[in-house]
A and B are shown apart, each in its own frame.
Chain A
Amino acid sequence: MDPAAILDHQFRVAAYAVTWVIQLGYLGWLGLKWRAQKRAEKQPR
């Protein structure tokens, strides 16, 4: 296989992977924050 095509493939995979790591990382962080606040909300005054 052409070395340039292999590099293109690796860079494309890296770009897609970075996108998902950022997006899912943020979603996970939001989920944790939501859960922590829900617990704080339930605490008695």
Chain B
Amino acid sequence: MKKLAIGIYVLFTIALMVWGYYQAIYVAPNDAMQGEIFRIIYYHVPSWATAFVALSVSLVGSIGYLAFRQNRPVRAQMADAWAVAGAEVGVVFLTVGLTTGPLWGRRAWGIWWTWDARLTTSLVLWLIYVSYLLLRRFAAGSQMQTLAAVLNIFGALDTPIVYMSNRWWRTQHPAPVFGGAPGSGMDPSMVRPFLWNMLAWFCWGVMILAIRYHVERQHQKIAEREAEAALTA
């Protein structure tokens, strides 16, 4: 039953991705000012939104790990698995955002990159979470998970700064399309393709997050088994 539900979810997600692509390429019109290059929005913005969701899961996981590590070791390990899964999936989506952005910027602004508040804080966020993953990969010992959880909590402070940066400061990056200044927004003919792609990328993100969590739990169980074997040897 569980396998069937997973299969249906995967098929649903793939169908959504195909539908989202169709909406972005064949249904949405070209932007009046930017032409076809504006269609990058259908991949760029959902990637950032999904990255924020994944990083939020990671933050909650790290808080959970710190809360449960003394009294509930199994729950703490599960929380830690969510933390690492969220951070890694977040980095994947941040990487997509940081590569599609310059491709769009080169055509829209004439430059690949500029050190404005939005772009700089985004790059810093990516670097923080890459550091988190490197710490987990190369540090050893019983304190590693605790140190990683603390780094995650401090690193997460950059997330709201990234989100608010183009509201707080004047940036090369445009003001928010949704919920920005008066007059901001999207043509109604573009809203539906945009929302379909948001949904599709969100479902894709949930799918790879769940897979990554499962892989991490498997890794924890193997490590636990090896530790037990070493003790009894």
Contacts and interface: CB of A to CB of B under 8 A. Distances in A.
Contact of A8 (B107, B225, B229): B107
B40 to A, nearest CB: 5
Q: Which has the most chain B C-beta neighbours within 10 Å: A9, A11, A34? A: A11
B96 A23 contact: yes
Interface residues of B, number: 31
B96 A18 contact: yes
A37 B215 CA distance: 8
Interface residues of A, number: 24
B208 A18 contact: no
Given A23-B92, A45-B225, A45-B229, A33 B36 contact: no
Contacts of A40: 222
Interface in B52-108: 92, 95-96, 99-100, 103-104, 106-107
Contacts of A26: 92, 208
Interface in B196-233: 204, 208, 211-212, 214-215, 218-219, 221-222, 225, 229
Contacts of B39: 12
B43 interface: yes
Contact of A22 (B36, B95, B211, B212): B95
B37 interface: yes
Interface of A: 4-5, 7-9, 11-12, 14-16, 18-19, 22-23, 26-27, 30, 33-34, 37-38, 40-41, 45
20 contacts: A7-B107, A8-B35, A11-B103, A11-B107, A15-B103, A16-B21, A16-B40, A16-B43, A18-B96, A22-B96, A22-B99, A23-B92, A23-B208, A27-B208, A30-B212, A33-B215, A34-B218, A37-B222, A40-B222, A41-B218
4 A-B pairs with the lowest CB-CB distances in the bound complex, closest first: A8-B37, A8-B36, A15-B100, A15-B103
Interface of B: 21, 34-37, 39-40, 43-44, 47, 92, 95-96, 99-100, 103-104, 106-107, 204, 208, 211-212, 214-215, 218-219, 221-222, 225, 229
